[in-house]
Structure 1
Amino acid sequence: MVDLYVYYKVREHDAARLGPLVRAMQQRLARGDGVPVQLKRRPGAKDGLQTWMEVYPGVDEGFAQQLENAAQAAGLHAYIDGPRRAEVFTDLAPCA
């Protein structure tokens, strides 16, 4: 299991349209696959852009492709400025 973090830039004037699309996509993932979901954004904006982050803790390594397919189907890319960047993190093993 891994934690998946997906971040991207959103034009301020598109934020109100994108929010419901992301939340609906996440609700479908949570209901259908039992995936825990979080949606966050960096406070403030720079040059008219907000930074948003979707967080998916404890998912299978193959989940990233499933998420990208869901994002495409939900039409998220129409409201995102630039790419969606995904980062995978794992837990550190405890010291013996």
Structure 2
Amino acid sequence: MKDLYIYYQVKEEHAQALEARVRSLQAKLAAGSGVSPQLKRRPESRDGLQTWMEIYPVVGEGFAEQLAAAADEAGLLSLTAGGRHVEIFMDLPPCA
């Protein structure tokens, strides 16, 4: 299984609108896939920008594509300052 980390920046004036869209998107994805998403942000802003991160732990195959389609449908890029950057991590196997 894999974990997805998506980070991006948002202008402070778009933060409230973006949060509503992301939380709605995450609720739909959680209901449909059973994933437990998280939404985080850095505590400080820089030059009027906040850095946000969406975390999707323990996702199955095809989830990244499902998430990308849902983000497009929700119009998230219209409220971000630049693109959404996706990182995928997986657990290391335990030592024998």
Q: Fold-level match, TM-score > 0.5? A: yes
Write out aligned runs for 1:29-40 (5 A): 29-40=29-40
Which structure has the highest strand share of the two? 1
Q: CA–CA distance in 1 between the matches of 2:63 and 2:32? A: 13
Alpha-carbon deviations, 1:1-56, whole Å to 9, x = none? 10000000000110011000000000000112212110000111111110000000
- Once superposed, which parts of structure 1, at least 4 consecutive aligned residues long, lie more than 4 Å away? none
Unaligned runs of 5+ in 2: none
Instruction: Name 1:73's counterpart in structure 2.
Output: 73
Instruction: Name 1:42's counterpart in structure 2.
Output: 42
What percentage of aligned pairs have identical amino acids? 57
Unaligned runs of 5+ in 1: none
Q: Count residues with an aligned counterpart.
A: 96
